[in-house]
Each structure stands twice: as C-alpha cells, then as structure tokens.
Amino acid sequence: MKVKPLYDRILVKRIEEKEQKRGNIIVPDTAKEKPMEGKVIAVGKGKLDENGKRIPLEVKVGDRILFGKYTGTEIKIDDDEHVILREDEVLGIFG
C-alpha cells in the first residue's frame, strides 16, 4: 500500500534499535522504548501561507530525522510501523 502525505505532513519509518543487553539480561521488545529516529519515506507538497502560496518542506525523502517521543500518528503499512507527523514536529535532520 502506498500513502502520500498531504500539505506539511511527512511519512516516517522508524529506525529500530538493535537488541539490547544489560549485563546478562536481554531486554524484550515489549520493554523497549520506541525509537525517536526515522527515515523519511514520503513528504507532502508543503503548507499554504495566508496568501495561498505554497511553502516547500525542508525535509526530503531519504533524510534521517529525529522527532519527539509522543509526536505524530502511528500507522501500519505492510506490517511495518510508520509515523505521520508535521514538519514542525521534526527536531532535527542527521547530516
């Protein structure tokens, strides 16, 4: 299934962290926190200003981004977890 974000929204696939060990204890998937890092899969065309002019997004497809823990809307596409969020919820782009 293909999803095309609208306006200033971004479709992000979470970058999962590797299995964690603490001493001899393996942290199960259910106890791991969701990563706040992801790869941009698709972007909207940008939001409109008060004059109707489109403001393009700074975030581009393929960018690795950092976003807040509780931001966006979680969705599942083909059994993969994704997040749809607005560009202003992006905290930074990895260089």
21 falls within a domain: no
Q: What's the mean per-residue pLDDT of the chain?
A: 86
How far is 90 from 86, CA to CA, in rounded Å? 7
Give the global pTM. 0.78
Can you give the residue range of the structural domain that contains 61?
Answer: 9-15+28-93
Distance CA 45, CA 54 (A): 8
Question: CA 37, CA 35: separation in Å to the nearest integer?
Answer: 5
Residue 20 lies in a domain: no
Assigned domain for 54 exists: yes
**CATH code of residue 56:** 2.30.33.40
**Residue 64 covered by a domain:** yes
Q: Considering its fold, how many domains does the chain have in total?
A: 1
pLDDT at 19: 55
pLDDT surpasses 90 at 42: yes
1 inside domain: no
With contact defined as beta carbons under 8 Å apart, do 13 and 52 qualify?
Answer: no
pLDDT at 33: 62
